[in-house]
A and B are shown apart, each in its own frame.
Chain A
Amino acid sequence: EDQVTQSPEALRLQEGESSSLNCSYTVSGLRGLFWYRQDPGKGPEFLFTLYSAGEEKEKERLKATLTKKESFLHITAPKPEDSATYLCAVQAAGNTPLVFGKGTRLSVIA
């Protein structure tokens, strides 16, 4: 069974304090790993798709990396507006629906 585990469940950072969020996964043939940002009461907003180990993608203060067992979302010098829940999801080979983790709730304090 495909599974996604995100850690930590919650993370509190001071503004400017860089850190990383972890997404560990088990999947029968990875087709893609997805990162989303979700603000309270709103729909998840797409950030990145990673397809193969070693791949990296960046967007502003966010950088996502992928290995064969996990992905990291690195946040460099975060700002309060980066506060949100970050969701990770995997898609197995065969175009099956995404399997989501429970998310990491990030709070950035000014």
Chain B
Amino acid sequence: DADVTQTPRNRITKTGKRIMLECSQTKGHDRMYWYRQDPGLGLRLIYYSFDVKDINKGEISDGYSVSRQAQAKFSLSLESAIPNQTALYFCATSGPTEQFFGPGTRLTVL
């Protein structure tokens, strides 16, 4: 089984819709992250959480919110999706020496 799973893997939605991307991990790590990746811009950090009670904004948090439901679960929400949120989204979790990424969610906002 994969260490980090993301659902859905692909999603097409319309402008203005609310979308939730879910992430779960089996590594037992406290730290979890959400990134988006766009061609030419690399990986950019949206939100991160160092434990269940800790939520921090990354460099591009506007238009996004997160929920840390448990140590193993970290969800990303787009309250009102817009076309420039079309991207590849990755969840990750980190331990003392490594950071593990999920397989990604390809989101398209029409």
Contact = CB atoms under 8 A, between A and B. Distances in A.
Interface of A: 32, 34, 36, 41-46, 49, 87, 89, 95, 97-98, 100-103
A103 B103 contact: no
Contacts of A95: 50
Give the secondary structure class of B's interface: strand
Q: Which 8 A-B pairs have the closest CB atoms?
A: A43-B101, A102-B42, A100-B43, A44-B101, A43-B103, A46-B98, A97-B48, A43-B104
Nearest to A34: B99
How many chain B residues sit at the interface, stated as a range, is: 20 to 34
Given A42-B104, A43-B103, 13 more contacts: A34-B98, A34-B99, A36-B101, A41-B88, A41-B106, A43-B92, A46-B99, A46-B100, A87-B42, A97-B45, A101-B42, A102-B42, A103-B42
Interface of B: 4, 33, 40-43, 45, 48, 50, 58, 88, 90, 92, 94, 97-104, 106
B19 to A, nearest CB: 19
Nearest to B88: A41
Contacts of B43: 44, 87, 100
A46 to B, nearest CB: 5
Contacts, number: 42
Nearest to B90: A43
A42 B103 contact: yes
Given A43-B104, A103-B42, A98 B88 contact: no
A12 to B, nearest CB: 18
Contacts of B58: 97
Contacts of B4: 43
A49 B98 contact: yes
26 contacts: A34-B99, A36-B101, A41-B88, A41-B104, A42-B103, A42-B104, A43-B4, A43-B101, A43-B102, A44-B43, A44-B90, A44-B101, A46-B98, A46-B99, A46-B100, A49-B98, A87-B43, A95-B50, A97-B45, A97-B48, A97-B58, A98-B94, A100-B43, A101-B42, A102-B41, A102-B42
